[in-house]
Amino acid sequence: MKKVTIVGAGNVGTNCALFIAEKNVADVTLIDVKPGYAAGKALDLMESGPIRDYDVVIKGSDDLYDLVYSDVVVVAAGKVREPGMSREDVLEDNVKVVDTFVNEIAKFAPHAIVIVVTEPVDAMTYYILKKTEFSSNQVLGMAGVLDAARAGEIIARQLRVASTDVEAFFIGGHHDYMIFLPQYSRVSGIPVTELLSSEEITQVREDVKDAGHKILASMKRGTAFYAPAASTARMVETIIRERHRILSAPVYVSGEYGLRDVCIGLPILLDRTGVRRIIELKLTDDQKEALNRSAEVLQQTQEKLASRIKEMAS
């Protein structure tokens, strides 16, 4: 049985463990800094197995050595936003959190594929990639899958169709500059451009962009976790079971789409090796411009992180 380790036993991490277990994808180890916390969550999840029909082994630990032999590592630890906060507002706090275990990922799980959920996901993907010095195919973020799922639910409601029949596609950063690609989004094979007006397509993008903020505003304390956990579990299943799925995810680019040295959401082929390749789609001029603008915004933050890593190394 393959092994998935989730660092951070909060709402996202625990629900991700549950979704992985329910598909009997892999054994799961939850790691959390709070003594006994992950162990308690793991025991609770194990006791759900006879009812939910899964028999994988779920363990909890506060020892980073338990990263050993991981095939996939999910980074879900860190501070979550509060009402009025942007994703970038938690960057400094979450860099400090990641610094407490990122070296151990490189030490104990050097061959693992790392999926980053910690916000802001594009920047944290870049930071973890640079800190671990892993190959660029090994580290990717969870964002495009979540944005696609949110769009799928929104489009399904608009058209009164089954959400499972909708495939949506987003690229760019997981922020205000995300880019909806309606020409590559389908409902039972029919392009969204044939089913929605340009105004409705624009509204889909705005609703997806605001989805996290709406959940945060409603909950007051804490933010979305079921959909992010489900999105991460889907990526884990793709890797472990070699599903060879095409999806969008924050990845490191080295010339694709004319971009360099930045982690940004792009279409990829995901398999057991991680990012098998970045797929270059034909974009409209407006979409190209929007992608470049999104990359510029992300690069400003990521360049600061690169400088920080150099200072720490010197």
Q: What is the pLDDT of residue 301?
A: 93
The answer to whether 19 touches 229, Cβ cutoff 8 Å, is yes
> Do 211 and 150 touch, CB atoms closer than 8 A?
yes
- Residue 293's H or E segment, with its range, is helix 285-313
What pLDDT sits at residue 82? 64
What is d(CA 228, CA 233) in angstroms, rounded to the nearest whole number?
9
Measured in degrees and rounded to the nearest 5, phi and psi for residue 223 equal: -140, -170
Q: Among candidates 79, 55, 40, which has minimal Cα distance to 1?
A: 55
For residue 270, which of 113, 56, 67 has the smallest C-alpha distance?
113
For residue 311, what pLDDT band results from cuts at 50, 70 and 90? confident
Confidence at residue 85, expressed as pLDDT on a 0 to 100 scale: 57
> Is 174 among the residues known to form the active site?
yes
In the set 174, 175, 213, 244, the catalytic residue is 174
Q: What is the 3-state secondary structure (H, E, C) of 184-206?
A: HCEECCEEHHHCCCHHHHHHHHH
Cβ 244 vs Cβ 270: under 8 Å: yes
The pLDDT score that the predictor gives to residue 213 is: 83
d(C-alpha 101, C-alpha 286), whole Å: 40
Domains, in order of start, for the chain: 3-141 (3.40.50.720), 144-304 (3.90.110.10)
pTM for the model stands at: 0.96
Gap between the Cα atoms of 287 and 107, Å rounded = 40
For residue 26, name the pLDDT band (cuts at 50, 70, 90).
very high
**Closest CA relative to residue 33, chosen from 91, 81, 80, 99:** 99
Question: pLDDT of 218-228, one tens digit each?
Answer: 887 778 999 99
